Structure 1
Amino acid sequence: MDRAVTDDLLAELADVVLRISREIDPSGALAIDIVPLTGTEALVMRWVDRNPGSTPSAAAGATALKRSNLSVALGSLVAKGMVERRPDPDDARTVRLFSTALAEQSIERLHAHWAGMLRQALGDDDRDVVATFATLTRIDERLHDATR
């Protein structure tokens, strides 16, 4: 049975995704006014923002970072004013992580930047965006599951 989706096509898809990510990089040629983050910090910030009140242990597990690397990234995010550590009201030994107002503003600017760039690139031809999003989300989830 011949597959319509060849390994070459899948490799090209991965390459296109990487090229697009470089083009929409907020610190690239079209830098925007957001708090600059390293790749590891962005990974942790994304988790904290999407999972308010999570613990450092949960963040380490979800991001596949070693505790020491997560600790460094969290320390940097706290120093940059992006993440707030709060004691758990039920267990003072546990810390909960939350995005700050500064983080929310940066994320809002970043999302507007991305949406604007993609809208400009698509023009009036946005008919496949929903299906593309669903496919890429499914790939992301399955890749994430496969590496855990």
Structure 2
Amino acid sequence: MSDDALAEFADVVMRIAREIDPNGPQAPDIVPLTGTEALVMRWVHHNPGASPSAVAKATALQRSNCSVALRSLVAKGMIERQTAPDDARAVRLLPTPLADESVRKLHAFWVDRLRSALEGDDAGVEAAAALLARVEGGLRRGHDATTSPH
């Protein structure tokens, strides 16, 4: 594959991301989040019960930046901190019902935008999603390799 084709692929992904941005002009009625807060919220929503250090590592955020985002998400009512039942020193992060509702509304917004854009022809969506997941995994592995101490 040519460099131009890969660059165009990345550019299309960025253009699509702008069109489905929940902070854009057609935004759904959800709790507004910064990019860092959205990154952290996405991880906690997919990994309820994770520790703050696990979230920082998984999102490749510095602990201080992750802590700021977590404090903000707690203040916005999106994340709840719970003491781990097996270790009173450990904290688990859980999405709140407000977070669940915001994610549901966000997913509905994305579905509506994409269905409209595809005009009823969703052929290839599953294959495209699989390809993008593979790209994400490869990028994450590449990032992990460059940030791990050797």
TM range (shorter): over 0.9
Aligned residues: 144
TM-score normalized with structure 2 length = 0.94
SS of the equivalent of 1:147 reads helix
Instruction: Please give the alpha-carbon distance, in whole angstroms, between the structure 2 residues aligned to 1:45 and 1:17.
Output: 21
Cα deviation, residue 29, structure 1 = 1.2
Q: TM-score, normalised by structure 1?
A: 0.96
Which residue does the alignment assign to 2:100?
104
1: distance between equivalents of 2:25 and 2:86?
46
1:44-82 CA-to-partner distances (Å, cap 9, x unmatched) read 000000000010011011000111001000000000000
- Residue type of the alignment partner of 1:13: F
- Corresponding residue to 2:5 among 9, 12, 17: 9
1:127 counterpart = 2:135: no
Partner of 2:109: 113
Structure 1 residue runs of 4+, over 3 Å off?
none
2:54 paired with 1:74: no
Q: State the identity as a percent.
A: 62
SS state of the match for residue 90, structure 2? strand
Q: Which residue of 2 aligns with 1:21?
A: 17
Are positions 1:34 and 2:30 aligned together? yes
Question: In the TM superposition, what are the counterparts of 1:43-58 in structure 2 within 5 Å?
Answer: 43-58=39-54
Partner SS for 1:114: helix
**RMSD of aligned C-alpha atoms?**
0.6
Q: CA deviation at 1:124?
A: 2.3
1:145 Cα deviation after fit:
1.0
2 CA distance for matches of 1:75 and 1:34? 18
Letter in 2 for 1:44: V
Q: Any idea what the Cα deviations from partners look like across 1:95-119, whole Å, max 9, x if unmatched?
A: 0000000000000000000011001
- Give the aligned partner of residue 86 of structure 1: 82
Distance in 2 between the 1:54 and 1:26 partners?
Answer: 25
Give the partner amino acid of 1:10: L
Which whole-Å deviations, capped at 9, do the CAs of 1:100-145 have from their partners, x for residues lacking one?
0000000000000001100100012211111101100000011011
